Amino acid sequence: MRMPGWADPTDFGGNMSRANTFSCLLVMLAVVVAAAALQAQGQAAPMCASSEQIAVVRTALAGKEPAPLGATAAALKMPEALVASALPHEQTHGVSAIHFQTIWKSIETWSDATTFIIKGPNLFEIQGPVGRGEPSTRSKFFNLHREGPGLAGHLRPDLYASIYLLEIPGASTTLRGIVFFDQFGDAVFSVYVPGEGVPAPEAVVTQFKATSALILALPRLCAEYTQ
């Protein structure tokens, strides 16, 4: 006779099966909680190119004038953040998105900029200084505001995973900019020193170099994978 609520002591296999199932559920729960904690802290695991991917990316870019990395990423069917991580150290420096506010405050000092926003097959360019930003006191938005026309809006940097500094030289121009990536490796938007087809303004290049120095002083993502 089995008392209500008591397991049959001979049902060892059934107990072990239930125990294993329970253990698996605990492990899955722990993984979900850990991932949520990393996301909440803006510390999602970075996307780092393997040695094979590094070779593929660098071969694809060899001999070409520098340009935003989205087209290369699409051609190679790779997340753009992975492409950025595959560049030589002297051309890029990726950092965690937890540094967003510090980096944004530095970009605010640029007297001019070109902001790229990609939505599907569409690319929007906004010319002019970025808006000054501050965290909302009521939500997770980082609010951009300005007087007059130009870039303004409401950002969610808590959902970003990485920020990449780019300074890629070419035969006739140098691409200089900052790219903000989400946790899927897609570019949310990017801010570049203007100068397509013409020399970049010296004042903005100097301001960019100040932002560059700030980012270069921060811990590098994927340092063990690339050089």
Using one digit for the tens of pLDDT, what is the confidence trace for 86-144?
999 999 999 999 999 999 999 999 999 999 998 888 899 999 999 998 999 999 999 99
Do 121 and 194 lie in one domain? The reply is yes
Q: What share of the chain is helix, strand, coil (3-state, %, to 5)?
A: 35, 25, 40
Neighbours of 42 (CB within 10 A): 18
Q: Is residue 226 part of a domain?
A: no
Query: Which residue range forms the structural domain that includes residue 26?
Result: 11-40
Do 15 and 71 lie in one domain? The reply is no
What are the start-end ranges of the E strands in 21-159?
92-96, 114-119, 122-127, 132-135, 142-145, 153-155
Q: Is residue 221 part of a domain?
A: no
Neighbours of 182 (CB within 10 A): 18
Q: How far is the CA of 223 from the CAs of 41, 53, 96, 136, in angstroms?
A: 21, 15, 12, 33
Stretch 206-210: mean pLDDT: 98
- Give the pLDDT score at 151: 75
Do 26 and 60 lie in one domain? The reply is no
- pTM exceeds 0.85: no
Edge-to-edge strands, sheet with 153-155 = 132-135, 142-145, 153-155
Which CATH number characterizes residue 116's domain?
3.40.1570.10
Do 128 and 19 lie in one domain? The reply is no
Q: From CA 19, how far away is CA 27, in angstroms rounded? A: 12
Do 17 and 70 lie in one domain? The reply is no
Stretch 51-72: mean pLDDT: 96
Instruction: Indicate if the pLDDT at residue 183 is higher than 80.
Output: yes
- Give the pLDDT score at 21: 44
Domain total for the chain? 2
Taking alpha carbons only, the member of 40, 72, 39, 41 closest to residue 56 is: 72
Please tell me the total number of residues recorded for the chain in this structure: 227
CB 163 within 8 A of CB 97: yes
Q: From CA 97, how far away is CA 41, in angstroms rounded? A: 9
Instruction: Indicate if the pLDDT at residue 17 is higher than 80.
Output: no
Q: Is residue 176 part of a domain?
A: yes
Instruction: Indicate if the pLDDT at residue 148 is higher than 90.
Output: no
Do 112 and 201 lie in one domain? The reply is yes
Cα angle 155, 158, 159; round to 5: 85
Do 33 and 99 lie in one domain? The reply is no
Q: Is residue 3 part of a domain?
A: no
Do 118 and 20 lie in one domain? The reply is no
Q: From CA 99, how far away is CA 170, in angstroms rounded? A: 29
Q: Of residues 24 and 117, which shows the higher confidence score?
A: 117
The token pair that represents 4 in the structure block = 């209500």
Q: Is residue 222 part of a domain?
A: no
Stretch 17-26: mean pLDDT: 45
